[in-house]
Amino acid sequence: MSDKKHILVVDDEMIMRDLLTDFLEMFDYDVVTAHDGVMAWEIIQDSENERKFDLVITDINMPKMGGIELSTNIKNKFPDMPIIFMTGYGIEKVKQDVEKAEGFLAKPFDLDVFNELLEKILS
């Protein structure tokens, strides 16, 4: 069995999903992507018996189900699953919701800062 960390990346922008996937795979993480919260929640529930995600990285604003609602669903069923929120909005606009997560990234973000946050959460 692999000891790779499993990360779910959720963003409605394909470019962001691809960028994060490439970056994470460079550091030997196993990455699964979803284009919105509904798809992410289905993936998490489908994989609960096979694979537990070590981390969910999600955009806040997405169609169908955003990151806040997704994080509520996750924390209700899997309270120990860490979440990092990403958003193009400033932190003040989402501060109350962001406090529920283990990390926050304001887009665009520096990949070194992102890597430090990953190491902190996954270690």
Question: Which has the minimum average pLDDT: 25-29, 49-53, 114-118?
Answer: 49-53
6-50 pLDDT, tens digit per residue, is 999 999 999 999 999 999 999 899 999 999 999 999 999 886 555
Q: Where are the domains of the chain?
A: 6-118
Residue 89: its pLDDT value, please?
A: 65
Q: How buried is residue 99: exposed, middle or buried, by Cβ count under 10 Å (0-12/13-18/19+)?
A: exposed
| Confidence grade of residue 86 (pLDDT, cut at 50, 70, 90) | confident
- Secondary structure class of 42 (helix, strand, coil): helix
String of b and e for 70-92 (b: at least 16 CB within 10 Å)? bbebbeeebeebbbbbbbeeeee
What CATH number does domain 6-118 carry, 3.40.50.2300, 3.30.830.10, 2.160.20.10, 1.10.530.10?
Answer: 3.40.50.2300
Is 92's pLDDT higher than 70?
no
What is the average pLDDT across 97-106? 70
